[in-house]
Chain A
Amino acid sequence: MDVLMRRCLLLVSFWSMACFALAAEWMLPLEGRQQFLVTIEARGAVISGICVVKTDAEGSRGAIVNEFGVHALDFTVSADRKRVKLLNVMPAMNRWYIRRVVRRDLQYLFAASHETEGSKGHRTVTLDTDGTVMLVNAKYKLKYSLKKIDETEE
């Protein structure tokens, strides 16, 4: 009985470790401080910029600015990556319906793991060979792409 119990416990711990490892394989790394090149395409218009994310035990905080440094929006991501909150949104984007779509898209993007790559509803997330993570929102014809800026490029 003891042996069986031990084997069971061992199996459970291996299984939890495997689950943890899989869950940790996010497409977008947010640990510590990360910088990404961001492009948002919306009905022919292209907006590009830089996304900076800083993570601590409570979760992640981020900001998107354009290349000249002009602020677009701030956001928070919960530690389990299930909730995104938008803050300080620039006036041109500060409409409830825009905020709602962008918040949900970012939520989907940050929660995307290698396991969930593909389509869900009207959203499709893919990982390019050059490391770019792309999200297409077919309903609103939006395309987001994020590519990590390597420290070596600095």
Chain B
Amino acid sequence: MIKRLLWGLCLLLTTMSANAQTLRKVDAAQQKSMVEKINRTAASIRSIDCSFTQVKTLQFLNDKMTSQGRMLFVAEGAKLRWEYQTPYSYTFILNGQKVFIHSQKNTQTIDISQSRLFQSIAEVMLNSVTGKSLSTNADFVCTMMTQGDDWVADLVPKKKELKKMFKSIRLYFGSKQQMVTRVEMTEQNGDTTMITLKDVKTNGRVDEKMFAAR
């Protein structure tokens, strides 16, 4: 009897943990409701200040590369600062139509209206942070799913420039906060990049100088 109970318990626990990991597609009505909630939250966000960890999985080397940094976002004017601090120093600043890139030896300014590629990169970064890409279907085919307590938006690029780079981009949202907590990018060769946002502070004051060219 005890043995049977133990087996039953084991089976229950296994099923529960499998459910927590399994991605489940939601129906159209659920998808609409989830996207609406995410958009409502995104509209209420004026700024985000957080740290992030990026783990890149290199299939060819069977290896992982980890980097860490800080991200700042201001909704007004769609400004973004994406800064890698370890193990290398690299800053990507998006301010209106300009992108400033600071690496260890170089500083570059790019006019994104002149570069389709940078337009695409800027769109992906902004959309990934806010979750706006879920309703702007010109760029992606969006399928909503659930994974345990998380909501997952599976985005398949439509544009040629993005298709060359990514097979899919998955945004993970905490179902309570309805904000992006993780971004998983899968490239055409199968390599993946997982970005996890931590210590997220919303709607605080962000210094404008952080978005200026140095």
> Complex formed: what's the CA distance from A33 to B60 in Å?
14
Contact with B63, one of A39, A54, A145, A153 (Cβ below 8 angstroms) = A54
Residues of chain B with a CB closer than 8 A to A149's CB: 87-88
Decide yes or no whether B12 CB sits under 8 A from chain A. no
A-B pairs with beta carbons under 8 A, tally: 73
Q: Mark B59-94, 1 if CB is under 8 A from A, else 0.
A: 011010111000000000000000010111010100
Residues of chain A with a CB closer than 8 A to B187's CB: 70-71
A52:B88 contact, CB within 8 angstroms: no
Decide yes or no whether A50 CB sits under 8 A from chain B. yes
A69:B86 contact, CB within 8 angstroms: no
Size band of the B side of the interface? 20 to 34
Residues of chain B with a CB closer than 8 A to A87's CB: 60
Residues of chain A with a CB closer than 8 A to B87's CB: 35, 149-150, 153-154
Decide yes or no whether B191 CB sits under 8 A from chain A. yes
- Among A58-66, A104-112, A118-126, the one that faces the other chain is A58-66
Residues of chain A with a CB closer than 8 A to B56's CB: 65, 69
Knowing that A68-B121, A70-B187, A149-B88 touch, tell me 14 more A-B residue pairs with CB under 8 angstroms: A35-B65, A39-B106, A48-B90, A50-B88, A52-B65, A61-B60, A62-B61, A65-B58, A65-B65, A70-B165, A71-B191, A87-B60, A92-B164, A153-B86
> Complex formed: what's the CA distance from A68 to B193 in Å?
8
> Complex formed: what's the CA distance from A151 to B106 in Å?
23
B contact set with A: CB distance below 8 Å: 54, 56, 58, 60-61, 63, 65-67, 84, 86-88, 90, 92, 103-106, 108, 121, 164-165, 185, 187, 189, 191, 193
Decide yes or no whether A46 CB sits under 8 A from chain B. yes
A153:B88 contact, CB within 8 angstroms: yes
**What are 25 A-B interface contacts by the 8 Å CB criterion?**
A33-B63, A48-B90, A48-B106, A54-B61, A63-B60, A63-B63, A65-B56, A65-B191, A67-B88, A68-B54, A68-B121, A68-B193, A70-B165, A70-B187, A70-B193, A71-B187, A71-B191, A74-B60, A74-B61, A87-B60, A145-B105, A147-B104, A150-B87, A153-B86, A153-B87
Residues of chain A with a CB closer than 8 A to B103's CB: 39, 48, 67
> Complex formed: what's the CA distance from A46 to B102 in Å?
12
Decide yes or no whether A88 CB sits under 8 A from chain B. yes
Residues of chain A with a CB closer than 8 A to B54's CB: 68-69
Q: Quick one: which of A15-42 are within 8 Å of B by CB? A: 33, 35, 37, 39
Residues of chain A with a CB closer than 8 A to B164's CB: 91-92
